[in-house]
Structure 1
Amino acid sequence: MQTTEEKLFETIETINESIIALRQQLHEYPELSSQEKETTALLKGLLENAGLTVRIFSDHYGLIADLVVDKEKPFIALRADIDALPIQEQSEAPYTSRKPGIMHACGHDSHTAILLGTALAFMQVKPLLDSNVRFIFQPAEEITEGGSSQMIKDGVLENVKAIFGLHAYPYLNTGQIGYKYGVMLASADTFEIEIFGKSSHGARPHEGVDAILVTSMAVNSLNHIVSRQIDPLHPAVISLGTIEGGKAANILCDHVKLCGTVRSVNHDVRHSIPKMMEISLKGITRSMHATYAFHYNYGSPEVCNHDAMVDLVREAGESVLGKENTIDLIDPVMGGEDFGRYLEIVPGAFFRLGTCNRDKGTCVSQHNSRFNVDDDALIVGMKIMGAAALRAMKNA
């Protein structure tokens, strides 16, 4: 007699080609963060047709699909993000983006298709399940505010006992997954700095306050915070991404604006960095007779996995793919993911899905105009998500 997992996998194999087609359709019609109207409408129709209870929202394009076997039992939650990036695609796939300047350059199309497929497969084994399952299709992961906050506010984690998510990863081969105990991804904050000087003729600099000169000193100082003020055993990054200022070659600039990001994998370090930045800015501007404005925005927290939930992902990976293809990633990376907000509230784990196939050219890094996902990875994602959820049900 087939086990629940065997029946689930059999269903996944049956629907795999249709899930690949869906992924390619999503890739052709990407939508930016907070604009995922058509994506959500498509998912809603497919999920409702399969018999799931679907909930949408008036103030964002998130979607929750519930599979309920017993109203008295808790939910195991599985999550995917659905938004795309403002990048002009340059891949050679036959299903390239039809929307100029927008593409799925981070694999969210594959995440969405995997979760949709997992939901359809679970519906086929519903009578065999030990717990309820909630499928979370989250908008706006790519922006600082993060769609996870909106979903949490709207009750997505109510009665949820465990949550799992995955991310396409071109640094592992198709047929592999990566797991990580503890902190897996960094917090992702942003900041804006304005330096105010005094305009004057470029030939008479003593009559003005050169905001560009002050800014150059500030940039230098900010870049020494990580190397000289933070314990090197606690990785952190302060990166300036934009700088704007000046109107003419012969006029001293009176206003410069800088924007950047801060990453950290340590809570205490994260909250100390803005204070260090403020001290540097205050000292430099005061000594140069300038002023400043400093705006710091705390974004998504660290993605800190729960050991017991990582155990379930690792066990699922070793069972489905073998130990040799279930990779301990060991070290965190400085990328961010707002999945961390869910993990602050309920136990869960985030894992990497290998998508690199050199013959297909799918080993390009995320947020690159040539990024693409190997469709052979989708069935792996569905099986691992499904197997991890089944294991979590036993402890729910």
Structure 2
Amino acid sequence: MDKESLKQELFKTIDSLKDKVIKVRRDIHQHPELSGQEVRTKYLVKGILEIEGYEIKEFEDHNGLVADLVVDEKKPFVAIRADMDALPIEEKTGKPYASQVKGVMHACGHDAHTAIAVGAAIAFAGAKEKLPGNIRFIFQPAEEINEGGSEELIRDGALENVKAIFGLHVYPYLMTGQIGYKYGVMMASADIFTVEVFGKSAHGARPHEGVDAILTAAMCVNSLNHIISRRIDPLHPAVISLGTIEGGTAPNIICDHVKLTGTVRTVNEQIRKKIPAMMEDSIKGITHSMGAKYKFDYEFGQPELINDDKMVDILVQEAQKILGKENVIDLKDPVMGGEDFSRYLQIVPGAFFRLGVCNPQKHTCVSQHNPKFDIDEDALPIGMKVLSAVALEVMNNEK
């Protein structure tokens, strides 16, 4: 069977699987699990794919799952990755399939990513005897935390004998029926930092006898926000954001300890490497001038997500056949959000794309990480088709 006929057969199967994939997505949505806790989701996926004939690999120290469909042991794999974890958000959609776990919600769409991968896996299993190569599905835990579950899966061999990898993310800023792509840097690196300021406690009426950690911390916050505007080339986007500030015990006591935490995002690795030293210079100068001490911790997280040009070419080509040129959108500019799919792309070529899920009639245009976030489930077969077509095209490419 030629590759175009095989694609059409896969698409026909995918269309027939829509209701099943929606059911899987809603099941996962109703039972969300936080990063590192994705046990139920893992075993739901495992149960489905074992029946379909996949070779399943589990791991002792994390909830990742690798499912292989082997056609020829001499050939490499094309990999498709889906993340599985949810967020600590109380859902407010009012949908009948809303989260049943208090304070936890799939507010980023990982339930959809997992369901799409499951559906594509079932479709490939049905065409196993006709496939030109091997397919691997990587179900990843802990995408939402800075360490990132991708690192653990890579360490445990998820990319062994993989020639290319693809992934997607639902996107409420594109309409259902559209996808978005980007050559080169698509998403920012995502680092976190902690600053602790140590002062000296005193009575609020006698501040000269103490060292005010709150005032010192406030000056540090102000200074850190000036790094981007005055020390970074404005042609290289970067963000320093403070997310938390903790300190003080009473209104009439000079505070002796303040803790700040935040995130740094860049789309240029050279700039990324310079920022920690710039931050510490500012903190050190201010705390010294105020008679305080400090502790500064900086944790490098996910690197920039950099797509492979050749893989994006294939993605665009296949998506245009499925959706039409007008619905395959060049996103042009990177976004400052982070995504640990970037770690896979440091090792093997691949591409990451955005799947439109916005439908105003269904109220699915709400941003991610929002308690009212939901997706248009008509997008699920589109995600399956694009991923399947791209994977099949790469399988057919012997280079």
State TM-score, norm by structure 1: 0.99
| Residue in 1 that maps onto 2:234 | 232
What letter is aligned with 2:120?
Answer: T
Where do 1:313-392 residues align within 5 Å?
313-392=315-394
Q: Distance in 2 between matches of 1:123 and 1:10?
A: 14
| Residue in 1 that maps onto 2:176 | 174
**Partner SS state of residue 224, structure 1:** helix
What letter is aligned with 2:86?
Answer: A
Query: Once the 2 structures are TM-superposed, how far is the Cα of residue 131 of structure 1 from its aligned partner?
Result: 1.2
Q: Distance in 1 between matches of 2:58 and 2:46?
A: 8
What letter is aligned with 1:287?
Answer: S
| Residue in 2 that maps onto 1:88 | 90
| Residue in 1 that maps onto 2:159 | 157
Query: Once the 2 structures are TM-superposed, how far is the Cα of residue 85 of structure 1 from its aligned partner?
Result: 0.3
Q: Distance in 1 between matches of 2:208 and 2:22?
A: 66
Query: Once the 2 structures are TM-superposed, how far is the Cα of residue 254 of structure 1 from its aligned partner?
Result: 0.3
What letter is aligned with 2:188?
Answer: A
Aligned residues: 396
Where do 1:4-153 residues align within 5 Å?
4-153=6-155
Q: Which moved more, 1:122-131 or 1:135-144?
A: 122-131
**Partner SS state of residue 3, structure 1:** helix
What letter is aligned with 2:68?
Answer: D
Deviations 1:336-394 (A, max 9, x none): 00000000000000000000000000000000000001100000000000011011112
Q: Distance in 2 between matches of 1:395 and 1:5?
A: 15
What letter is aligned with 2:381?
Answer: I
Q: Distance in 2 between matches of 1:243 and 1:24?
A: 37
Q: Distance in 2 between matches of 1:261 and 1:120?
A: 39
Amino-acid identity (%): 64
Query: Once the 2 structures are TM-superposed, how far is the Cα of residue 327 of structure 1 from its aligned partner?
Result: 0.3
What letter is aligned with 2:79?
Answer: A
Where do 1:260-339 residues align within 5 Å?
260-339=262-341
Deviations 1:230-259 (A, max 9, x none): 000000000000000000111100000000
**Partner SS state of residue 311, structure 1:** helix
What letter is aligned with 2:362?
Answer: K
Query: Once the 2 structures are TM-superposed, how far is the Cα of residue 93 of structure 1 from its aligned partner?
Result: 1.3
| Residue in 1 that maps onto 2:258 | 256
What letter is aligned with 1:171?
Answer: Y
Gaps in structure 1 of 5+ consecutive residues: none
**Partner SS state of residue 254, structure 2:** coil
What letter is aligned with 2:84?
Answer: I
State TM-score, norm by structure 2: 0.98
Query: Once the 2 structures are TM-superposed, how far is the Cα of residue 161 of structure 1 from its aligned partner?
Result: 0.5
Query: Once the 2 structures are TM-superposed, how far is the Cα of residue 128 of structure 1 from its aligned partner?
Result: 1.6
Q: Distance in 1 between matches of 2:94 and 2:310?
A: 41
Q: Distance in 2 between matches of 1:111 and 1:166?
A: 7
Query: Once the 2 structures are TM-superposed, how far is the Cα of residue 129 of structure 1 from its aligned partner?
Result: 1.3
Q: Distance in 2 between matches of 1:39 and 1:78?
A: 17
Root-mean-square deviation (CA), in Å? 0.8
Deviations 1:258-306 (A, max 9, x none): 0000000000011111010010011101111100000001110111000
Q: Distance in 2 between matches of 1:394 and 1:301?
A: 30
**Partner SS state of residue 374, structure 2:** coil
Query: Once the 2 structures are TM-superposed, how far is the Cα of residue 395 of structure 1 from its aligned partner?
Result: 2.1
**Partner SS state of residue 225, structure 1:** helix
**Partner SS state of residue 65, structure 1:** strand
Q: Distance in 1 between matches of 2:129 and 2:18?
A: 22
What letter is aligned with 1:89?
Answer: E
Deviations 1:196-219 (A, max 9, x none): 000111111111100011011100
**Partner SS state of residue 242, structure 2:** strand
Deviations 1:141-179 (A, max 9, x none): 001100000000000000000000000000000000000
Q: Distance in 2 between matches of 1:113 and 1:203?
A: 61
Q: Distance in 1 between matches of 2:23 and 2:43?
A: 17
**Partner SS state of residue 281, structure 2:** helix
Q: Distance in 2 between matches of 1:88 and 1:70?
A: 46
Query: Once the 2 structures are TM-superposed, how far is the Cα of residue 94 of structure 1 from its aligned partner?
Result: 1.0
| Residue in 2 that maps onto 1:195 | 197
What letter is aligned with 1:395?
Answer: N
Q: Distance in 2 between matches of 1:230 and 1:129?
A: 50
Q: Distance in 2 between matches of 1:131 and 1:290?
A: 62
4+ long deviations beyond 4 Å: none
**Partner SS state of residue 214, structure 2:** helix
Q: Distance in 2 between matches of 1:135 and 1:75?
A: 10
What letter is aligned with 1:290?
Answer: A
